[in-house]
């Protein structure tokens, strides 16, 4: 009987976590829909860095980073002002919005109850250690909505167009 209660409790916790993840992804999508057109990101001060792909497969896409949001950091993450906006390059040279990334240098940190991941130094960006959270709000990720790499994203067409 006690095993059944524990399994039921674990199942309830996992279901609640999935609902919370979906809710955050929905809020991120609503707050950042303007970035569907990359020109909106550029107009708000975001600049591209090369497409990031993982050795184990999948990618993060091209990050458009707002350097102004990475300075004077007081651990104040704003759902409507992600530090990076992520796009997947297409064969015709266009970019499709797939997700956003929240970054802070102070931590541990959380966004609406979701802990950010520590990225130590050295790292591919040449930054000091930082905390980050990817939110795949426009592209399903079988690894989860907050995983770093997404097997459904590719850098195959980076530089195309």
- Whether residue 94 is contained in a domain is answered as yes
Predicted pLDDT at 12: 43
Contacts 24+ apart (CB under 8 A), 76-80: 77/102, 77/104, 77/109, 77/111, 79/27, 79/28, 79/31, 79/32, 79/111, 79/112, 80/31, 80/32
- Whether residue 149 is contained in a domain is answered as no
Q: Is the pLDDT of residue 130 over 70?
A: yes
Q: Is the pLDDT of residue 127 over 60?
A: yes
- Whether residue 118 is contained in a domain is answered as yes
What mean pLDDT is predicted for residues 146-150? 96
Q: Do you find a cis peptide bond into 108, omega within 30 degrees of 0?
A: yes
Total count of domains within the chain: 1
Range of the domain at 111: 2-135
Please report which confidence band the pLDDT of residue 19 belongs to, taking 50, 70 and 90 as the band edges.
low
- Whether residue 60 is contained in a domain is answered as yes
Please report which confidence band the pLDDT of residue 73 belongs to, taking 50, 70 and 90 as the band edges.
low
Q: Is the pLDDT of residue 38 over 70?
A: yes
- Whether residue 34 is contained in a domain is answered as yes
């Amino acid at each position: 009987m006690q095993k059944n209660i524990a399994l039921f409790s674990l199942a309830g916790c996992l279901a609640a976590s999935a609902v919370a993840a979906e809710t955050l992804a929905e809020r991120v999508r609503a707050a950042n829909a303007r970035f569907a057109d990359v020109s909106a990101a550029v107009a708000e001060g975001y600049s591209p860095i090369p497409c990031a792909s993982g050795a184990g497969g999948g990618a993060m896409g091209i990050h458009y980073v707002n350097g102004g949001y990475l300075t004077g950091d007081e651990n104040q993450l704003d759902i409507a002002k992600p530090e990076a906006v992520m796009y997947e390059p297409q064969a015709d040279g266009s970019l499709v919005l797939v997700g956003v990334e929240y970054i802070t240098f102070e931590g541990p940190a959380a966004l609406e109850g979701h802990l950010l991941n520590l990225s130590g130094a050295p790292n591919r960006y040449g930054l000091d250690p930082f905390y980050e959270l990817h939110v795949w709000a426009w592209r399903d990720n079988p690894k989860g909505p907050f995983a770093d790499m997404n097997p459904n994203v590719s850098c195959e067409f980076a530089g195309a167009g």
